[in-house]
A and B are shown apart, each in its own frame.
Chain A
């Protein structure tokens, strides 16, 4: 649990790159060949960061070669974003040959993504249990 990715990289001055798993929790499900990932901020103050940094384009880049298109919806009332990952399930439902044919753990694959955050936020997120 102590492996941590928080590095300067392309993050710019005063910011750090940090994996989404330290900022959000998530659950995913399916509808046909589309997987959805609901990304929920661990703290209310992380939500504006997620909203700004976890864009449709960056999520599409993250899943390059794994999905054919991405939609994003905002749920500020739940401090959450919902992503639709089209073509993610290799046909989906009963057709798919994948272990994760119903996209149950696609959520965790999104949590691997790194985004830049202010250094103070990175320190706080890293300290959280």
Chain B
């Protein structure tokens, strides 16, 4: 007798992840759910910018052609999809998926649910007027300090609307800012009928979600331990959680795929972006990562058990993006002999020119790639016969003009600076807008009554 398990497979770990992964998850073996996480901290602001230029935009557009590829299989196999690809425009995203289903002749066979209510940009002034200061969780500054620069503001929703959508018969659930872990918790709570105040189950589902939310990063991708022994990464198997009703689960991947699911591969993902391990806070509850037990239970199978949780807080996190200023990064490559000295001389000359022009920056940062870019002074002095060094200079300023002028000061160094320089074929560096992140907290009672789940008409 085998106990019933629910299989939740990761299809995307971020916006821009490997496009073949969801297709192979659907075709490579049995799964019940496909979760696709698209939203990182700054993604919402990028989407907001796109939406302000075109009101039909503002979501992960590549989600739609991806769904076109997998919808026939999903419909045939009864696989259901949870995704926060909707970004700041989940309605447009859900409608585009519905249109894709129509074109494939799947109208009526694939029900699409839309989750809204996370976007508080239209309500921001009302909330501030009510006394919600939305202070920056890191600096303590009240939002009023940058109110006029805010580009997007979204509360992190948990699993509740996903559970509701699945209960309503949705095959594809499209959301905005639902937590990465909520995309996995939703299916598990729907399938097992767990009580939402069963905090150990919430914690177990949260850990399951955390393990697969970054895609192949738990199944051999970016794995430091014995990295040379990780085989088959040309066709990496993305992780799959096989969950049981008791809250334990196995992390695995489809047979015949590359990568590895091992205690080390899962452990590296568990500590990724970790804060206080006793208190991993989500909208649905708090998970204690010091209770997680891992055991290798066969080839590419890791059993996870023992997870304890605590009650959820009365706050939800809000992710706010605001316009900060401008930046640009320029690079040049200097070759042997004395590559490092040439690059250092070029840096001094460039800085002198910027100063002589009277340009002011919030910061000028120089790195010598190949010498100190990632480890700073810990790397120690470079060997004398380095084949080449990349000079990488970045500037940031509130005013665009100073950054703009900086981008025109890189190429001149080629004929007016130290010798043996190359690597400038890419042309002038690009001036980039800096959109910064402002994390805050808000009472959940201000958000939850506004959350809506709609099943779109076929």
Contact = CB atoms under 8 A, between A and B. Distances in A.
A and B co-occur in one complex: yes
Contacts, number: 121
Interface stretch (A9-17, A49-57, A75-83): A75-83
Contact of A94 (B289, B293, B294, B434): B434
Contacts of A99: 367, 369, 373-374, 392
B245 interface: no
A112 interface: yes
Interface of A is mostly: mixed
A58 B306 CA distance: 32
A60 interface: no
Contacts of A76: 290
A72 B226 CA distance: 25
Nearest to A65: B377
B292 A38 contact: no
Interface stretch (B61-69, B158-166, B264-272): B264-272
A90 B290 CA distance: 30
Contacts of B373: 98-100
B41 interface: yes
A25 interface: yes
Q: Provide the main secondary structure of the chain B interface.
A: mixed
Given A29-B273, A77-B291, A112 B278 contact: no
A84 interface: yes
Contacts of A27: 222, 224, 268-269, 271-272
A26 B276 CA distance: 17
B378 interface: yes
A82 B274 contact: yes
A65 B108 CA distance: 61
A66 B396 CA distance: 20
A35 B181 CA distance: 21
B329 interface: yes
B270 A109 contact: no
Contact of B276 (A32, A73, A78, A109): A73
A120 interface: no
A29 B329 contact: no
A112 B378 contact: yes
A29 B277 CA distance: 14
B435 interface: yes
Contact of A38 (B271, B278, B327, B437): B271
Interface in B273-316: 273-278, 289-294, 306
Interface residues of A, number: 41
Interface residues on B, range: 35 or more
Contacts of A105: 374
B145 interface: no
Contacts of A75: 271, 277, 289-290
Contacts of A97: 327, 329, 363, 365, 394-396
B42 interface: yes
Given A33-B138, A73-B276, A98 B290 contact: no
A62 interface: yes
Nearest to A37: B271
Interface string A20-34: 000001111111110
Most buried by B among A25, A78, A90: A78
Contact of B293 (A42, A74, A77): A77
Contacts of A29: 272-274
A66 B375 CA distance: 9
Interface in A87-117: 90-91, 93-95, 97-100, 105, 107-109, 112
Nearest to A109: B375
B376 interface: yes
A93 B375 CA distance: 18
Contacts of B41: 93
Contacts of A91: 363
B378 A98 contact: no
B225 interface: yes
Contacts of B395: 97
Contacts of B278: 73
7 contacts: A27-B224, A38-B267, A77-B293, A78-B270, A90-B363, A90-B365, A109-B376
Interface of B: 41-42, 138, 222, 224-226, 264, 267-278, 289-294, 306, 324, 327, 329, 363, 365, 367, 369, 373-378, 392, 394-396, 434-437, 439
List the 5 closest pairs (A to B, CB-CB), nearest first.
A38-B271, A97-B394, A29-B273, A25-B225, A97-B365
